[in-house]
Amino acid sequence: MFNKILIANRGEIALRVVRAAREMGIATVAVHSTVDADAMHVRMADESVCIGPPPSAGSYLSAAAIMSACEISGSEAIHPGYGFLSENPLFAEVAADHDITFIGPSAEHIKIMGDKITAKRSMKELGVPCVPGSDGSIDTIDDAYEFCDEIGFPVIIKATAGGGGRGMKVVKHQSELTNAFNTARGECRAAFGNDQVYIEKYLENPRHIEIQIFGDGQGNAVHIGERDCSLQRRHQKVFEEAPSAAISSEARDTIGRLCAEAVAAIKYAGAGTIEFLYDQGEFYFIEMNTRLQVEHPVTEAIFGIDLVREQIRVAAGLPLSFTQENLEINGHAIEVRINAEKFPEFSPCPGRITQYHAPGGLGVRMDSALYDGYSVPGHYDSLIAKLIVHGRDRKEALARLDRALSELIIDGIDTTIPLFHALLKEPDIHSGNYTINWLEHWLQTNRADSAA
């Protein structure tokens, strides 16, 4: 087992890794930009190293700075968290070249799954169902027209690299294709330095279902249930739950087994999430994330396992501490993502926290690096907290979420907490009757009502 781990991230996920490592008796090293010198993950880690200025390009995205911090601190392994360099195959290779263990899958697997076209091709070969789409990138508008004539409209244009909705364009009619294609390529070039796009059939009203998998790198893998992440704004998840209200136990077992067999076949190591669109009883693969997900706590809640602990164990060469037969769903869990944004505009709202009080009680977990007096910087993602609740069933989890939100205090800045108070008044949320388009439609309707 490792003696010391460096955490190449910030905020609540860095603090999450510190906690898991401490319980395992492993020393931790926090890295931070100059603006994060007083951040909670820096305070809680055993050591800290400043790696650069506030812009992430010169700090959290600097492989050279992070590797220097490893050398200075004597760290044996790096936990990348999520975001930043967590899915960068070159970073994983650099770590290996310096005899530093990357707590995650191999650089090869990160690279394969990081390119959406290669990932889709690989999953097809492994027997995982995929959305009908192009086998490779579509490089010219003429090729785009020809392909769309074959599969029919509506279609969706996506970046071959990256994600988070950047470069993603829905095209419902042929007359929209040229503008959408050129705009998508321009956005991809700006966001990822790569303007390649591919085209898929657009499923108009599916749910977003993802399967948590875990491999030991030796050809063994398990599936750890699904998460329903259908409540999204601009392709960004805001509300996640497990298990899904739309999936039967038979469907869960079938798709889970397919996913586990697929990653076992390639000897995948560590945590991974295989994401699907679910429409009329069918699953369609869209991408695989080769890292820990933001919403991993809902899986931990219903299965009673520590996914970060398992990541560290597998990276150290140890077997998983559970088998497929050990995994049984217990109750229902929900996570809401709280952002430093003004609702309903969703405009960024960095600033100083004047008062912070986390909710508590049975079945309530708050993952956050906030504290009284902390200044939320404007240089990074606006996610500042995740509220997770667990109940014996979905009804109890929703009631617990309502109660926990009423206890939560974050003063000094605007947040998206009012969004969740409003959502919990909606019958569709209580019935679980929503798809990936529900939240956008709800927001538009409420804006129109407010304007009137």
N-to-C CA span, the chain: 62
How many helical (H) and strand (E) elements, i.e. helices and strands, does the chain have?
A: 15, 22
385: left (phi over 0), alpha (psi -120 to 50) or beta: beta
Q: What are the residues whose beta carbons fall under 8 Å from the beta carbon of 43, sequence distance 6 or more?
A: none
Contact present, 316 and 296 (Cβ < 8 Å)? no
Using alpha carbons, select from 386, 330, 390 the residue that is nearest to residue 363: 390
Q: Cβ atoms within 10 A of the Cβ of 98, count?
A: 11
Give the distance from CA 242 to its chain's centroid: 15
Run of H or E including 90: helix 89-97
> Which among 185, 252, 291, 313 is annotated as catalytic?
291
Using alpha carbons, select from 116, 46, 107 the residue that is nearest to residue 75: 46
Tell me the C-alpha distance between 54 and 34, whole Å. 6
Contact present, 155 and 202 (Cβ < 8 Å)? yes
Contact present, 291 and 275 (Cβ < 8 Å)? no
Tell me the C-alpha distance between 245 and 352, whole Å. 38
Using alpha carbons, select from 256, 293, 248, 258 the residue that is nearest to residue 273: 293
Tell me the C-alpha distance between 286 and 281, whole Å. 16
Neighbouring C-alpha atoms within 13 Å toward the C-beta of 107:
12
Q: What are the residues whose beta carbons fall under 8 Å from the beta carbon of 89, sequence distance 6 or more?
A: 107, 108, 110, 111, 114
Tell me the C-alpha distance between 347 and 342, whole Å. 5
Write out the two tokens for 376.
């939320």
400 is catalytic: no
Catalytic amino acids?
Answer: 291
